[in-house]
């Protein structure tokens, strides 16, 4: 008989109801999960970077960024990540959209803490690795990106951060977000912009031979940047 130590499972809760969020955090911690609890999706990228989770528990009715959009962008970068939805929405359309975005289980409120814990254990046990013939693999620890075919491409720490943020941002990464991650508070915004553009240029040059002239990062004038390849992140 195999014994699964759920203490090895990292969970991130994204729930704006303070009482519910704290209650779930306490219960899941007592069950042996390692839990980070957030009130919205703004801090999710940083939380994932700091300690990549095995699954997230996410509400759909969230301020600023809808839960469906959160699921889409996170699953794009971390296709192996388990996703459990816990929401007050009961329409079949909401359920359909959540599953299409990448959710593994859809729970409606009020769901008991024991049920949530059981579902998370099940999801963490059965989420299988995904492979895609055309995906690149970003190895954050080794600071390299591995194309679908060909040798790995070495990256600097800042180049790794850039690609990680692009992978998490789905369709658009704003300069303001890049400035938060890569910028230097002791210099002007214009200087930071030049430095960031230099990092982007170096990454493009490194990836260009493998892409055979295809684009890796596209500039959306006045908006930001978009990744033109499929990247799976391994931390």
Residue 12 has pLDDT above 90, yes or no: yes
> What fold does the segment set 6-126 form as a domain?
Rossmann fold (3.40.50)
Distance CA 67, CA 102 (A): 11
pTM of the predicted model, to two decimals?
0.63
Fold of the domain spanning 136-234: Arc Repressor Mutant, subunit A (1.10.10)
What local confidence, expressed as pLDDT, does residue 232 receive?
85
pLDDT number for residue 82: 92
Strand order in the sheet with 153-154: 153-154, 144-146, 136-139, 231-234
What are the tens digits of pLDDT across the range 70-88?
999 888 888 888 999 998 8
Residue 174 confidence (pLDDT):
87
Phi, psi angle pair for 217, to nearest 5°: -130, 125
Q: What distances in angstroms separate CA 50 from CA 43, 161, 217, one per listed residue?
A: 11, 12, 24
Domain-wise residue ranges, the chain: 6-126, 136-234
Using one digit for the tens of pLDDT, what is the confidence trace for 138-149?
Answer: 999 999 999 988
Residue 5 has pLDDT above 70, yes or no: no
Q: Which residue has the higher pLDDT, 101 or 135?
A: 101
Q: What is the mean pLDDT of the chain?
A: 85
Please state the rounded mean pLDDT for residues 183-188: 86
More reliable by pLDDT, 16 or 132 = 16
Residues 14, 40 contacting (CB under 8 angstroms):
yes
Coil, strand or helix: which one is 14? Answer: strand
Question: Is the pLDDT at 4 greater than 60, yes or no?
Answer: no
Decide if pLDDT at 129 tops 80.
no
* Token pair belonging to 55: 């699954």
pLDDT tens digits for range 95-118? 999 999 999 999 988 888 889 998
What is the predicted pLDDT for the residue at 139? Answer: 93
pLDDT higher than threshold 50 for residue 1: no
pLDDT at site 130: 45
């Amino acid at each position: 008989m195999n014994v699964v130590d759920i203490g090895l499972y990292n969970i991130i809760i994204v729930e704006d109801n303070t009482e519910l969020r704290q209650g779930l955090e306490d219960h899941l911690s007592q069950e042996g999960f390692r839990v980070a609890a957030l009130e919205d999706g703004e801090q999710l990228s940083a939380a994932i970077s700091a300690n990549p989770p095995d699954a997230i528990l996410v509400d759909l009715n969230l301020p600023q960024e809808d839960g469906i959009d959160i699921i889409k962008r996170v699953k794009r970068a971390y296709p192996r990540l388990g996703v459990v939805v816990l929401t007050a929405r009961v329409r079949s359309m909401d359920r359909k959209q959540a599953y299409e975005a990448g959710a593994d289980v859809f729970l409606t409120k009020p769901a008991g803490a024991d049920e949530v814990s059981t579902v998370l254990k099940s999801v963490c046990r059965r989420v299988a690795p995904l492979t895609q013939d055309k995906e690149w693999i970003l190895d954050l620890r080794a600071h390299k990106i591995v194309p679908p075919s060909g040798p790995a491409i070495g990256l600097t720490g800042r180049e790794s951060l850039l690609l990680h943020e692009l992978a998490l941002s789905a369709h658009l990464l704003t300069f303001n977000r890049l400035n938060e991650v890569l910028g230097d508070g002791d210099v002007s915004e214009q200087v930071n912009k030049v430095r960031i553009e230099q990092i982007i240029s170096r990454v493009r040059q490194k990836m260009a031979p493998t892409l055979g002239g295809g684009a890796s990062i596209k500039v959306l004038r006045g908006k930001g940047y978009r990744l033109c390849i499929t990247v799976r992140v391994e931390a």
